Amino acid sequence: MKRKDYGDFACIIIVEEAQYFAPEKGIEIRESSAQSEVKASMVEAISQAGGYNVGLVITTQRPAYVLKSCISQCNSVACFRLRSGNDQNAILEYTEYGSERLKDYLPGLADHEALLWGLAVPTPFPIIVEIDVEEYPRKAAVFAKAAWEKMEKNSAKDGATQNLPLHLQEF
């Protein structure tokens, strides 16, 4: 049985430091014609990717600097501590599940804690999660290629059940 039969994405694209690829208007990031094309492509990809079974993850430490049309397309949000009011407003005003009440929690989250809400969360309300820092170190200890090979090796050892999406696995 193929992964797509479980409703998984054909691929997932991760865009880190999204403010450089899709900067909000008025942000002082010098833009060449190539960067302008990247920005237009980014907006198009975000709005159309789901129709092609492509998952898109955008990350930034400064959501206020990311184009609001990109943020508004996010149907799930993992938000770590945000102290800046502008960053809080960008997330809460432009995401579907954001709420003014969440603004009270965002600046007070502990290190490695995040608020999750949206379609990826199995509840109709936001949840707080804690990231296991032993499993995800602050800095990469190995190159991406070595980490990928290790994951594939471990995946083959774990058997087919572990490859199922979480909602289909038995616990």
Residues 102 and 86 reside in one and the same domain: yes
Averaged pLDDT of the chain? 79
Residues 127 and 152 reside in one and the same domain: no
Pairing mode, if any, of strands 11-15 and 76-80? unpaired
Domain hosting residue 102, numbered range = 74-136
Residues 39 and 58 reside in one and the same domain: yes
Residues 111 and 165 reside in one and the same domain: no
How far out from the chain centre does Cα 118 lie? Answer: 11
Residues 47 and 85 reside in one and the same domain: no
Model confidence pLDDT, tens digit, residues 38-69: 888 888 888 888 788 888 888 899 999 998 88
Residues 55 and 109 reside in one and the same domain: no
The whole-angstrom separation of Cα 132 and Cα 137 is 9
Domain C-terminal end among 69, 84, 102: 69
By the 10 Å C-beta count (0-12 exposed, 13-18 middle, 19+ buried), 84 is classed as: middle
Residues 93 and 153 reside in one and the same domain: no
> Residue 110's pLDDT band (boundaries 50, 70, 90)?
very high
Number of domains comprising the chain? 3
By the 10 Å C-beta count (0-12 exposed, 13-18 middle, 19+ buried), 145 is classed as: exposed
Domain C-terminal end among 69, 104, 123: 69
Whether the per-residue pLDDT at 140 is higher than 70: the answer is no
Residues 63 and 16 reside in one and the same domain: yes
The whole-angstrom separation of Cα 171 and Cα 141 is 30
65 vs 147, more confident: 65
Residues 10 and 54 reside in one and the same domain: yes
Residue among 37, 38, 94 nearest 65 (CA): 94
